[in-house]
Structure 1
Amino acid sequence: MTSISRALHYVFKIGDRKASYEFYTKILYMKVLRHEEFEEGCKATCNGPYDGKWSKTMIGYGPEDDHFVLELTYNYNIGEYRLGNDYRAILIDSDQIYDELDKAGNARKTDCGRLAITDPDGHCFKIGRGSAQHKISCVAVNVADLNKSIDYWHNLLDMPIVEKTDKHVILSYGAEQCKWKLCQLGGDKKIDRGTAFGRIAFAYPGEKLLELQNKVKAAGGKIINELVTLETPGKADVQVVILADPNDHEICFVGEAGFKDLSRVDCQADAAMQKAIADDDSNEWFSQFKNGKKAAE
């Protein structure tokens, strides 16, 4: 059975756009696919609970039509975010990146044989071999109650189970899609989302978004934003519903048709991001930040 949902991207907040740009493009070999600047906070809190100027940069190994990518959100004048224990790792398969990291010796080898490396904001990436092409293959997060999470993602959101153990479950809306891995925290630990918390996004038929929202509402699920239309200057509008699972992992279901138009790769995106970094004068700003100013609590 073919799913009507499709994994699109995972959202990170970044504190230093220049350092992040260098990491993602020079170490992970991702390409800037889109870059957009906004004068005020997102109606669906895409940039977190902040009202000021911000930017969104889509970055990855190809268009979201057939690749899972990352969304880097940057809030002006916020230099860092506190990591919680909710995020675990993003898995990338790439022979080239693995071999280069292994040769450089600047990554840690994990028990599963992957190489672990962190971005400038502390997000962990685990690189594995077995693919001639670069590919984001899985997003792994922690949960406090695995069975409760399985009930939500599998039974309520209809996400098929690919693999299940007593410590984790892997789900996916399609064989070729990025997988979603839920890992049980040890002991009776609670999920701490910090201020760096992320969000996963899926495409969904626009005419069925309200039906999905009502289904989650009827089941007592948490809805962060009911069906709303988001505008991007000069580009397509999209409809979204923002949910939260039992661990407050945020989930964005976005109307497929509008998003397909919005998500076209922009060949000027890399230049636009570099210009924004230069215009922001971030080197001077970060010298002030490192002296204790403007951190997100």
Structure 2
Amino acid sequence: MASLSVSVSAGLNLSMFRASLPLSSPSLTLSSVRNSSSSYNPSRRLALFHLGSALPQSQLLGVQSSKFLRADGKTIEAAQDGNVAQSSTTVTRENVLGWAKNDKRRLLHVVYRVGDLDKTIKFYTECLGMKLLRKRDIPEERYTNAFLGYGPEDSHFVVELTYNYGVDRYDIGTGFGHFGVAVEDVAKTVELIKAKGGKVTREPGPVKGGSTIIAFVEDPDGYKFELLERGPTPEPLCQVMLRVGDLDRAINFYKKAFGMELLRLRDNPDYKYTVAMMGYGPEDKNAVLELTYNYGVTDYDKGNGYAQIAIGTDDVYKTADAIKINGGVITREPGPLPGINTKITACLDPDGWKSVFVDNVDFLKELE
């Protein structure tokens, strides 16, 4: 398939909601968007959280009314779609900044697109030891998604794979780095992957400038996985690495807007890069976001393969406020999704990486 270019718009328009979608996919035309609302049914549940992976734009545009905080600290009323949603409280800059730190947040899943779903599932289950948690086909919207991981979705970070009918290849770009998987024996895992025909791009050995044993492998679509040798951990799917153009800006944003902690900062002047580990708990027990800054590189091609991370929150309205005042762009105003009333909000960080926040209570209800 020819290269699939993507543009990111800062405005709240259809081009924003199409960001990173394969432009040739039949399910992504405006005609299918206009006609999709009549075929909507609540059984799709968590597939609705794609918001830029395979979700029809008509479902994204049904946003509700709430109060939002402007950059000057004043609240404004935003009304959409004729519905009134209840914002938690009138907010001030001070309590919004404190909210993100005290919110009960957890990385829920990471979403990306693959060209052969069955082949990818086979690689993840046989080579990486993941379990297929569930799989759903949505023929009227011409996509299938599968959730895989090392434990149930209500307590573990999982991958959400999306296959768009007829699209067999994606451009991963230069901005996405890798996923991290903790294993007890890197060498043994690499031998298994080789035996299954997997591609090893970095043989087992200590990380440059450190002692942790690592290796790199690629899945059938070319997504890289870093294997890290660790003892038993409750969260083997442990990292998502993204490259950023301004590390200080990114750290500040994720601390204040997302409520993450800076767990570790490592500068490697010999190799001209710096890494910041951000997350909601220790690296050995939680999935973390690994932000990488390469000296002198301020912008990256994000391609159209990687989509977003979903994060749980107790209040999508306050979360959106915190994101806005800390330089993020809201691409889906906070409120319930049509039909199932699951509350979400979606945003871009200062580098254009997308995240979706999902109400914690609503998320658990959807999993039932």
Runs of 4+ in 1 over 6 A off after TM superposition: none
Q: Which moved more, 1:73-82 or 1:99-108?
A: 99-108
TM-score normalised by structure 1 residue count: 0.76
**Pair 1:78 & 2:167 matched:** yes
Distance 2:179 2:131 in 1: 17
Q: Which moved more, 1:185-194 or 1:242-251?
A: 185-194
Matched residue, 1:282: none
Q: CA deviation at 1:217?
A: 2.5
Distance 2:189 2:321 in 1: 48
| Residue in structure 2 matching 1:173, options 273, 276, 280 | 280
Q: CA deviation at 1:201?
A: 1.1
Matched residue, 1:46: none
Q: Which has the larger radius of gyration?
A: 2
- Superposition pairs of residues 69-148 of structure 1, within 5 angstroms: 69-95=158-184, 98-102=187-191, 105=194, 107=200, 108-109=202-203, 112=207, 113-132=213-232, 135-148=236-249
Matched residue, 2:294: 185
Q: CA deviation at 1:237?
A: 4.9
What's the secondary structure of 1:114's corresponding residue? strand
Task: Give the root-mean-square deviation of aligned CA atoms.
Answer: 2.3
**Pair 1:13 & 2:13 matched:** no
What stretches of structure 1 of length at least 5 have no aligned partner? 41-51, 265-297
* 2:175–2:300 contact (8 Å) kept in structure 1: yes
- Superposition pairs of residues 1-80 of structure 1, within 5 angstroms: 3-39=103-139, 52-80=141-169
* 2:186–2:215 contact (8 Å) kept in structure 1: no
Distance 1:189 1:219 in 2: 19
**Pair 1:256 & 2:360 matched:** yes
**Pair 1:221 & 2:328 matched:** yes
| Aligned AA (2:344) | V
Matched residue, 2:259: 158
Q: 1:198 to 1:97 in 2, by over 3 A?
A: farther
Q: CA deviation at 1:231?
A: 6.5
Q: CA deviation at 1:189?
A: 4.6
Distance 1:231 1:86 in 2: 33
Matched residue, 2:318: 211
What stretches of structure 2 of length at least 5 have no aligned partner? 1-100, 208-212, 268-273
Q: 1:104 to 1:227 in 2, by over 3 A?
A: closer
* 1:98–1:127 contact (8 Å) kept in structure 2: no
Aligned length: 248
TM-score normalised by structure 2 residue count: 0.62
Q: Which moved more, 1:213-222 or 1:114-123?
A: 213-222
Q: 1:231 to 1:253 in 2, by over 3 A?
A: same
Q: 1:98 to 1:202 in 2, by over 3 A?
A: farther
Q: CA deviation at 1:258?
A: 1.3
Distance 1:70 1:248 in 2: 20
Q: Which moved more, 1:209-218 or 1:75-84?
A: 209-218
Distance 1:103 1:24 in 2: 12
